[in-house]
A and B are shown apart, each in its own frame.
Chain A
Amino acid sequence: MAKTKKKVKAILELKKVSKIYTLGQQSISALNKLTLSVCEGDFVVIMGASGSGKSTLLQVASMLSQVTEGEIFLKGKNVTEYDEVERAHLRNKEIGFVFQQFNLLAKTSAVEQVELPLLYAKVSEEDRKKRAIEMLKKLGLSDRLLNKPGELSGGQQQRVAIARALVNDPSIVFADEPTGNLDSKSGGEIKKILIKLNKEGKTIILVTHDPDVAKIAQRKIFIKDGQIIKDTRTDGKKCY
């Protein structure tokens, strides 16, 4: 029996998006009229060789950099022409980041790391602390609240980073090789956390080289030369 296709709202849409970098006199086209729809609650893995454009796709989709051509819609709103300040607000409110290098601030406690997005969201100090501690507890770090990055293992540092990405309740979490710097045990923990988050309804877009990591997603996108060459999904969802 054929699977019935579930229609789900698109949370992120890229329409004929191009990104061209100019290095001196040379122009490099990192994305080439790429079109992509991500549904609410999707767990998308983006794969591709280095230089394929997957990191650029992540940067453009996460509002870190602007497109050269094409349009981007976030929750149905055209955000292509947003200026630096509007993009900063958008990143703060709608987007969570998890990086390969964790990117935690030196000599800063776990709670304060997690408070950062709330600081820029102008949440009161009391509320910030409360929410940060809650999120760290949820990620199993209740006994590591005041530790600084130097006092945490790689896996713990990445969990702090995930707590930071989630604390302002973003619509989409972008993760760039989140297990790339971790041993397989810690990497496994992080994968489990991402799966759990997705089950709770969070949209996750993950960039990786690692086919093992890719297995956890329902949707896999392969990129080459700035274009999607393959887009498969196992859950039968369809965005509108």
Chain B
Amino acid sequence: MLLNTFKVATRALLVNKGRTFLTTLGIIIGVFSVVMLTGLGSGLQAYVSEQFESLGANTVFVSIGQIFDEEKGFDTEGIAQFSSGNKFTLRDIERVKRLRDYVDEVTYYSTGIDQAKFLENDMRVTVLGALANYSEVRTIDIASGRFFNKNEERSGEKVVVLGHNVATELFEKIDPISRKLRIGNQTFTVVGVAAEVGSGFAGPNFDDYVYAPYPLISKIYPGTELTNFAVKIKNTELIPKAITAIEVELEKSLNEDDFSVFDQSQLLSTITNILSMLTVALGGIAAISLLVGGIGIMNIMLVSVSERTREIGLRKALGATPKQILVQFLIEASLLSILGGLIGLALAVLGTWAIQSIFPAKITLTSVLLAFGVSTAVGLIFGVAPAKRAAELSPIEALRYE
């Protein structure tokens, strides 16, 4: 019987196709915006998390300036203190290194920007002077060749590891390993190429970097100072204790306000908190349109019940029970919202796909289920009043209705 009632309801909707479409439009827009906007929010969140993960999970960052506060999160004012003239010394770093209960490795680095050239090709690169252990602390995947080693770091050999873009743009199809290229007025030998990491949303694009030994780079670019370093902690559980220990150690030579120690979970949680709030807010705003769509359905169903009063009377005269009439109109309302939900969902999938190349939007199962569930529920809830009205019509009154 339900199948038959379903067919009857479908027929009723097909009889008035134009109106059916216009009624579903509210739900289409509602579901589209809920899925699309939460998709943008969660895509952004996933992307940011992924970017942070790639930096290494058990790494603690130490930076000059009070740029991170446990209560306030990141503080832009603190960044200004970068230029305060404070800096770390190699002795500070040695002391941190000696915290062997927690610390696995310490790596520090400095950067300079220069022109790199191979044959006719040239490009601007960021030269990162690092220690040989840098690739372990910051987890750099090597696509071919190797990272430079401790000996090369110590002897100041002119070896370099290229970021993905540097390798492809300068060397094109030539294998860069063991080739020589010029950076500024120095000649370096390529020992390795890093795997592609993709362009960052905010922050540096590591594919445009080249990595060379720190002692060498600090000589070539003498202005660079030790304003931050990274510490690899033995395991993630130790991170909170390690942060305190590092702080105690550094306070011996610096004021506690002059530097900050933070790990990426803190960084990440600050950012994801903001992003998830944003996602909820976007979803909430979009949900209002879903509600409006539901009210649209109720309106049209009420009109439809009035218009079809005689039909309802006739169906009752021919043997339809009040429940069958109720179910018929409920199915009609739900079909409207399910149809709208499906179209809205399809549009959201298309939309997400279309902007994929410029924005990492990501449709989550939760947002799909939620939007679909809510739109079906909207149809059912807003369908109840008109359906009840139809079911309670007296057959006589309905048949007499003009």
Contacts and interface: CB of A to CB of B under 8 A. Distances in A.
A120 B320 contact: yes
Contacts of B322: 84-85, 88
Nearest to A92: B319
Chain B CB within 10 A, most for which of A91, A105, A121, A122: A105
A226 interface: no
A88 B321 contact: yes
A117 to B, nearest CB: 5
A89 interface: yes
A97 B318 contact: yes
Contacts of B311: 105-106
Contacts of A116: 315, 318
A93 B320 CA distance: 11
A103 B314 contact: yes
Contacts of B324: 120
Chain A CB within 10 A, most for which of B310, B315, B395: B395
Given A105-B311, A106-B15, A64 B318 contact: no
Interface string A30-46: 00000000000000000
Contact of B396 (A65, A106, A119, A164): A65
Given A88-B319, A91-B317, A105-B314, A122 B1 contact: yes
A91 B310 CA distance: 17
Contacts of B317: 64, 91, 97
A88 B399 contact: no
Interface residues of B, number: 23
Interface string B306-328: 00001101111111111110000
B8 interface: yes
Chain B CB within 10 A, most for which of A64, A65, A93, A97: A64
Contacts of B313: 103
A122 B322 CA distance: 16
Contacts of A125: 4
Interface in A70-114: 84-85, 88-89, 91-93, 97, 99, 103, 105-108
A52 interface: no
Interface in B280-335: 310-311, 313-324
B394 interface: yes
B396 A93 contact: no
A99 B1 contact: no
B366 to A, nearest CB: 40
A59 interface: yes
A84 B323 CA distance: 10
A120 B324 CA distance: 9
Chain A CB within 10 A, most for which of B319, B321, B395: B319
A23 to B, nearest CB: 13
Given A65-B394, A119-B4, A122-B1, A103 B319 contact: no
B394 A120 contact: no
Contacts of B320: 88, 120
B15 A107 contact: yes
Nearest to B318: A117
B4 A64 contact: no
Interface in A112-143: 116-117, 119-122, 125
Nearest to B4: A119
B396 A85 contact: no
Nearest to A97: B317
Interface in A151-179: 164, 168
A15 to B, nearest CB: 22
Nearest to A121: B319
B315 to A, nearest CB: 7
Contact of A164 (B310, B318, B399): B318
Nearest to A106: B15
A103 B321 contact: no
Contacts of B321: 84-85, 88-89, 120
Chain A CB within 10 A, most for which of B1, B318, B321, B394: B318
Given A65-B394, A91-B317, 16 more contacts: A64-B395, A85-B322, A85-B323, A88-B321, A91-B319, A97-B317, A97-B318, A105-B314, A106-B15, A108-B11, A116-B315, A117-B318, A117-B319, A120-B319, A120-B320, A168-B319
26 contacts: A64-B395, A64-B399, A65-B395, A84-B322, A85-B321, A85-B322, A85-B323, A88-B320, A89-B319, A91-B317, A91-B318, A91-B319, A92-B318, A93-B319, A97-B317, A103-B310, A105-B314, A106-B15, A106-B311, A108-B11, A116-B315, A116-B318, A119-B8, A120-B315, A120-B324, A122-B4
Interface of B: 1, 4, 8, 11, 15, 310-311, 313-324, 394-396, 399
Can you list the 7 inter-chain pairs with the closest CB atoms, starting with the nearest? Answer: A92-B319, A120-B319, A88-B321, A117-B318, A107-B15, A103-B314, A85-B321
